[in-house]
Each structure stands twice: as C-alpha cells, then as structure tokens.
Amino acid sequence: MLNTDHFWMPFTANRQFKSKPRMLVAASGMHYTTDDGRQILDGTAGLWCSNAGHCHPKITEAIRHQAGKMDFAPVFQMGHPQAFEAASALVSLAPEGLNRVFFCNDGSEAVDSALKIALAYHRVRGDGMRHRLIGRERAYHGVGFGGIAVGGIAGNRKHFGPALPGVDHLRHPLNIAKNAFSKGLPEHGAEMADELEQRLLALHDPATVAAVIVEPLQGSTGVILPPKGYLQKIRAICDKYGILLIFDEVITGFGRLGTPFGADYFGVVPDMIVCAKGLTNATVPMGAAIVRQDIHDTFMSMAPENTIEFFHGYTYTGHPLASAAAVATIDVYKSEHLFERAAAMAPYFEQAAHSLRGLPYVKDIRNLGLVCGIELDGVPGKPGMRAFDVFLKAFWEKGVLIRTTGDIIALSPPLIIEKSQIDQLFGAIGDILKTQK
C-alpha cells in the first residue's frame, strides 16, 4: 500500500486527494494509465505541456542517450554543446529578431528571469528610473516572487506579503456580457488596452515603467482571450513610451494555437517571450526567456569583455538532459508538422466545444486553437464545486482528464488528438452536465 503522507502536494486539496487518490502510473500518446489499469484520455496535455503526446519514442531516446553520455555539466564559465544546440533550435521557432535565449528550469523561473532582464536592461543602458512592472488581473505568471507580483490571482498572492514593490495591474479583458459564446477572438473589448496608457499617464509617469507582461491568452484562470486588436494596442502603447513588452507564452507556445508561438498567431512581436512546458514536451523541466538581440547586445557592450555581463543563472540552466529533450522535441514538432496539425484540427475542436452550448449550467464557452474554456454557473456559496464535481466524474466514470479553475473547465489536449477523441472528450463532459444536479 502506497504511503501518501509525506508528499505535500502542490495546488491540491491534499486531504481530499489522499482520501481517494487519483494515481497515474504510465502514459503513451493520448492516454494515461491509472494504478487500477484504466486508460484515461488526456484532455489537458498533462498541465498544458505534453504537446506531442506522451512518451514520444524520439524524445525518450534522446534523453536516454544523453543520460548515459553526460549527466551534468556546468554552464557557469563552462559549456556543453547541448545547451547551445537547444538555444539554436528554439530560436528557429521564434519570431525574427528574438534570437538570444536564457535557459532556466520552468515557467516560474523563466518569468522571473525575463523580469530581471527587463529591469537590468534599462539600468545597464543608463535608464535606471524604469523600475516598475505592469501585469494584469487574473494573470498567472508562476509562483516565484516576481511572478506572483505581476500575476493577478489573489489566492497566489495574499499570504506572501508585498512580493515586489512598484507593480501595477491592468484589468483582464474577459467580458461575458458582451462576448459570451464567441468562437475564437472576441469582438468587443480592444479598448481595455487603453487602460495601460491611462494608468501610465495618470499614476506612474511612463518613464518609470520597465516592462509590461501579459499572457497573449490567459490560460490558467480560465481561458481569457484577447479581444480583436487588444494586443496590437498594448504593443503600440509600449512602443510609444519605450516600455518592454513580455509575452508569457508558457501555455501558448509550441503549437497550442496552431503556430509556434501566440506572437505568430496574433501578429504581435514582443521584446521577450517566456516559455517552458512544451519546450521539452514536459519530459525534463526546462524554461526559457527568448530575448530580442539588441537587448542582449546592450549587456555585452556595457561590460568589459572578461567580466560577467548579467548576474543571474541556475545550476541547471541548459541542463544536458533538458537540452537534449528540447532539441528532440522541436525536431518532432517540425518533422511531424504538429503545429499545422493543431491548426487543421482547431475548427473541429471549436465545433465540438460549442456543441455544449445550452446544456445545464453552461454560462460561456471560449476557444482558440486547441484551447477551450467552459464556464459554468457555480453552486451558490460554493465556488469551484460544480466544475470540480465534473472533473471527478470525468476521471472516475468517463476515463477523461480535464482541468478546472474555479467553475471553469479548461481543455488543452496534446496536438496529436484525433477527431474521435475530441468527440469522446466533449461527449463525456456533455453527458456529465446533462445529469448535473
């Protein structure tokens, strides 16, 4: 009998879980296997991360090979080829001009790295007044102190004091009253971006702001899509006032929207992209900040050649196993045309998602690429309970893994999902909703 006492589980109702554990023991392609031998269709790519499906043989083999050849090598004043190869592979997917990569171990570290690069960049080029950072309500930027400061989830912030000084937040652009059941990008709400300029002028002095960070599509708090033209406006305002724009693409990166990055989908190029998850198909932890070349070059030009230009890094930056996994993963994305596949499957996914409209408690359905949010009317006085109940029934009775945040069901399957599996996923949710009390 497995002892579940000692592992303090993250973002989990520990006591509820341990009273009836949901245990996964193996994975392949679109499925997990449970400890009682059931197959579970993965409707969430793990945690928005196993984009190429589970245990892809080419990725597994690359990790196995690297583990046997060189387990670890430092990248402080030393190097190993895998990290450089991984950086080049990542740049081959990135928008033009974003071609310098700072590696770390996950999305949270990637966010903190990007924020530090932004602050240090302004300081290095002699504009040290720019110390403010701007995020958004309902943003998730991981759990580091930088990430929770610019993030906008009260539960992630309230116990930890003022994580960083000088941070402000824009409101999120979700507007169900005007945009309910939009297919793809909402029509209404681009003007929400004007709030950025208003805040800059009314409160902060734009010359004190270092960076604005946004998820192009807010995933973790329930699939909040940017209204048409919204991101373009944010970009224009940042440009007008010399503020760096950071896209947190931890979820939208690596084909989730049918393009390498959300930046490609939206046609808006930020100054830095933060990514993780799909970078290694979630096999070995790795995150990265992809940086515009001239930002990087500013650091290089401002310090004597024998000195460290940027005082930041992790023991496992560019870890050989993660780097090998990243190279193999990016190769799989390209050779199996998985981003194109996701784009081709998106209309079918959209249709299936919206087929749930009209079922009991369904308040809104939002979708883009292979992402969908189904917002439910909650049980009065018990926020999150209705969706969590659907989650439990999906797992125990339907053999389907979904994810919930509050009373919103969020779906983000691996990009290899078949039409019949899309039917199974939404069919299961539909069946559960029909019988929901």
Structure tokens, 395: 């797992």
Residue 132 CA, distance from chain mean position: 23
Secondary structure in 3-state letters for 212-269: EEECCCECCCCCECCCCCHHHHHHHHHHHHCCEEEEECCCCCCCCCCCCCHHHHHCCC
Listed residue (160, 161, 157, 166) closest to 115, CA to CA:
166
Listed residue (220, 181, 230, 188) closest to 367, CA to CA:
181
Residues 6 or more apart whose Cβ sits within 8 Å of residue 383? 406, 407
Which chain residues interact with ligand PLP by CB under 6 A?
A: 106-108, 111, 140-142, 215, 219-220, 248, 250-251, 276
Listed residue (255, 222, 266) closest to 413, CA to CA:
255
Separation between Cα atoms, residue 417 and residue 238, nearest integer Å: 38
Separation between Cα atoms, residue 234 and residue 213, nearest integer Å: 10
Query: SS3 for 354?
Result: helix
Separation between Cα atoms, residue 137 and residue 140, nearest integer Å: 9
Instruction: Give the strand pairing for 167-170 and 132-136.
Output: parallel
The two most distant CA atoms of the chain are separated, in Å, by 69
Listed residue (86, 386, 118) closest to 274, CA to CA:
118
What are the backbone dihedrals phi and psi of residue 140, each rounded to the nearest 5 degrees, phi first?
-115, 115
